[in-house]
Structures are given as C-alpha cells and as structure tokens.
Structure 1
C-alpha cells in the first residue's frame, strides 16, 4: 500500500517558489531570491504542517521558450535532498520528474537515495514532458515519450522495490544482476502521475498511486476522478488512489494590493469553506499557492494558512 495521507481528510501541500520561475506563476521578487529565501520558505511550510513541498524538473530550456518559461529550473533531486536536510516532517514531492529523460536505473539510484536519506519522505511525481529540445539533446525519444514513460514506470516499480538486485525485462529497458544500495526507506515509493490528457489520466489509473492534475478547473475534476476509478476497476486494481488538485491562488486576509481577480482572498473561515469544496469533488490533497510581494509576506501567508485555515479544512 502506498497511500500517503489519511483517507477522508483533505491534506495540503505547496510548490516551492524560486526553484522554478515560469512567468505563469512566479512572483517578481523571486528573480532576486537566494537559497536563504528558499530555505526559510521550506522551514515555514514544515512548521505550518504542510503535507509536502514540491519541485519541478527541466534539464534545459530552448531560447524559443525562455521568455515564458525562463531558464530557472533547479534540479529536483538536488533541491529535495537539500530540503530533506533542513526540514523535519514535510514530505518531498517531485512535481513532476520527467523520468523519460533518464534511464530507470539512474532515476532509481537518485530517488532511492533521497528516500533513504530523508527517512521515507519521498513522493515520486512523474510526467511525460513537453519540451522537444531537451529530449533531443539527451538522446531521449520525444515522439514516443508516452510509451517510454509507461515502460519507465514499470521498470521503476522493480528498481525502487525492496530487492537489492531488481529485475526487469521490457522493450526498451532490461536489467538484472545489478545491485543498488541503499534501498528506499520504504518497501514501496508512492508514485503520483501528473497530467490531464486522456493518456495521462489512463496512466495515473493503471500505473499510479495518485493523480496530479495540471490546473484543471474545479468543474472538470469529478469526471476525471470518476474516469480514473472506472479504469482502475476495469484493470482489477483495488489499492487506494489519491487525487490531487491545484487550487486558485490564495491570500489569507485582506491584501490591500492587487492580487488578481482569480485570487481567493478573505478570512480563514471563507477560504476554508471554499477549499472544502475540493473534498466534496473527491479530491484528497490540494496544492496551494499564495500571492506575495516578498519572502516575509509569503512566510506570513504560509503560517497564517497553517494556523488559521488548515484546522478548518476538515470541519
């Protein structure tokens, strides 16, 4: 069993700022932020009871996309390993690792070590990727990245299991009689599959322990959740699955500045009431994001959410 959070209770986590700076979500202050800022945000979330901290994954951004995506993308394994050393309880999520860029044994070595060092706090979030050039430069197959990801996930089930000498035989990858220590701290690493396309939904259903939608509106979540349940039942999978959602941007309290019309603002009770609707839609964990103008404001928001909003999420 690879369930992460308690069934029937809405959990919450967050994508870290600074470590990825796409113009879709990065705040202006992040461009000048330092590792000290990153560390303080992570520690604040750990103290505030957040269920996980998440980091992204891109190897290299082509010039044609750099204007929108930027080229700031920290390595997820290095970043999560650093966070493991400065936090105590919060889980560590790759959201998402583009595992098709790497051989499964390389991925297994990195993430098994991370789980070992963190005392079993890893959640491996995976996705297919979308930047052709970074696949091409490392010799990975962009055109067939979905099929590659499917086989990679099967290979990782073996490579991240309890056996020192894992075995796998597939179309693209095969290995046996090759030992890898240390093993993960747990017999099974939770694997959450990212993406909202039909292929990603199917992959989450038959190969995942959880689903990470990519910003789906609330109204679209029930149908996709139902589809995943249907596909799992058809495949004879009876193990639990955890459903996620990325919430609207949040601000606890009255901001006094223009946070954007799609930002949920207000008192803790009002925010909690809105966020509880996710649980009613079948969601198990929400990924929250706060509007902020500097690190201090962000850590204040994280603390306010943990002390004022979070206790009301499961009323």
Structure 2
C-alpha cells in the first residue's frame, strides 16, 4: 500500500506554471518567466497547504507540434529536485513521466535520488506518451509503448524497492547484480497512472496506487472511477486507490478582467461548495489551476485559495 494522503478528505494540488507551456493552458506571462518564478510559486504552494506540485515530461517536440505544444518542457527530475530544495512539506509529482522512453534503471536512479534528497516526498506519476517522434529518436517502439510501459512499471517496482541489488527479467528489459544507492526514503514509492483511455484506466487499476485523469469533465468521472474499482476487485487488489481530477480554471474573488466563460469565480465558500462535488463523485485529490496575469497574481490566488477555499473543502 502506498497511499499518500489521508483517506476521506479532499486534497488539492497543482501543475506548476512555466515548466511546460502548451497553448492549451499557459498564461502569456509565463513566456518570459524562469527559475525565480518557479521557486516563488512553489514556496507559495508550500505555505498555502497544497498537497503536491506537479511537472510534465517531454524530451523533444517535433516541429509539426511545436506551435501548439511549444518546445518549453522542463525536465521533471531536475525541476522537482530544484523545488525540493526551496520547499519543506509539499509533495513532488511527475504528471506525467513518460518512463517508457528510458531504461528503468535510469529512471530508478533519478527518482530514488529525488525521493532520498527530498525526505520522501516523491509521487511518481506516469503515462504512455503520445509524440511518436520522441519514441523513434530514442529507439523505443511507439506502437508497443503500452506494453513497454507496463513492463517498465513492473521493473520500477523492483528497482525502487528496498533491495540494493534488484533483479528483473522481462521482454524489453532485464537486470541483475547491479547495485543502486541511495535507496528511496519511502518504503514504497506511490505510482499514479495518468490517462483516460481504456488502456490507461486498466493500467491505473492493476498497476497503480492512484489515477490521474486527462481532463475528464465531471460527468465522465463516475463511470471511469467505477471501472477502476471493478478492475481492481477482479484482480484481487484490496488496497485503496487514490482518485484524482483536474478542475475547471479558478479565480478566487471577482477578477475584474475576462478570465473566460469556463472559469469558476467567486467567494471562497461558493467555490468550495462547487469543488466538494468532486469528493461526492469519489475523488480524493483535485488538481486546481488559476487564471493569472503575472506571478504575483498567481501567488495571491494560491494564498487566497488556501485561506478562503481550502478550509471548506471538507465541510
């Protein structure tokens, strides 16, 4: 069992700005931001009681996708390690690491070191990936990436376990007699699986400790949560699974500027009332995001959320 947060309470975390700048969600101010901005946001999250901070993962973006995705994708291990040094409590989540792109011993070395240095704050979020050119240039079969990911997850369970000299044999990877220190600070690294396809749902159910949906609207969550629980029961897995959701964009208070028609705005108690619906659907943690025009406004929004919304999430 690798439960991260207390069962029965709705926890909140967030994807960091700056470190990935897809046009789907990046704010204009992020284009000129950097390390100091990331550190300030991370510290604000730590102070405001956020459960985790999350970073994305892409190795290289092909030109055909660059206009939409941008090529700004910070390395998750380097970024989370940097943020571990400027925070004290907040958990550090890869959302999501495309671990099939790398040999499991490389990922084990990186993430074990991160967990060791951060005092046991890692949550390993993983996903299958979708950019074919990344797989091709790194010599990984894109068409079989799901099977590769499944095996890598099995290998990582061993390689991130307590043994200094882990051993594993599979179709794509095998290793034995090779020692890795330091070991993770946590006895078992929690693995949250990202994605909303049938394959991702099954992977989260049978190989994960948690599920990170890919932006599913509220009305789709109950069916997918039920499917995860059904698959776990069929596989004889009795440990609890931590269910996530990504909320609508938020703005605490009255923005005074156009935040978009889909943004939830208003006073703290009203926002909390809306967000409590996620808990009623079976969600354990929500990933929130805020509209902002600069770093200061984002940090103010995070502070306001911690002070005005969070105290009512579990009323």
Matched residue SS, 2:12: strand
Partners in 1 of 2:37 and 2:168 — Cα distance? 42
List per-residue Cα deviations over 1:141-163 (Å, max 9, x = no partner): 11100000000000000000000
The structural deviation recorded for 1:14 is 0.2
Please name the residue that 2:264 is paired with.
264
Partners in 2 of 1:290 and 1:188 — Cα distance? 32
Partners in 2 of 1:149 and 1:84 — Cα distance? 27
Q: Which runs of 5+ in 2 are unaligned?
A: none
Please name the residue that 1:77 is paired with.
77
Please name the residue that 2:300 is paired with.
300
Please name the residue that 2:251 is paired with.
251
Please name the residue that 2:311 is paired with.
311
Please name the residue that 1:170 is paired with.
170
Aligned residues: 315
The structural deviation recorded for 1:167 is 1.1
Q: Which runs of 5+ in 1 are unaligned?
A: none
Matches within 5 A, 1:1-315: 1-315=1-315
Q: Which runs of 4+ in 1 moved over 2 A?
A: none
Partners in 1 of 2:52 and 2:213 — Cα distance? 16
The structural deviation recorded for 1:187 is 1.2
The structural deviation recorded for 1:12 is 0.3
Matched residue SS, 1:86: coil
Partners in 2 of 1:141 and 1:125 — Cα distance? 21
TM-score by length of 2: 1.00
Partners in 2 of 1:44 and 1:227 — Cα distance? 36
The structural deviation recorded for 1:264 is 0.2
List per-residue Cα deviations over 1:219-260 (Å, max 9, x = no partner): 000000000000000000011110000000000000000000
Matched residue SS, 1:287: strand
- Aligned residues: CA RMSD: 0.4
The structural deviation recorded for 1:46 is 0.6
Partners in 2 of 1:36 and 1:187 — Cα distance? 33
The 10-residue stretch of structure 1 (167-176 or 71-80) with the greater mean CA deviation from structure 2: 167-176
TM-score by length of 1: 1.00
Partners in 1 of 2:38 and 2:83 — Cα distance? 9
List per-residue Cα deviations over 1:187-240 (Å, max 9, x = no partner): 100000000000000000000000000000000000000000000000000111
Partners in 2 of 1:143 and 1:86 — Cα distance? 40
List per-residue Cα deviations over 1:40-81 (Å, max 9, x = no partner): 011000100000000000000000000000000000000000
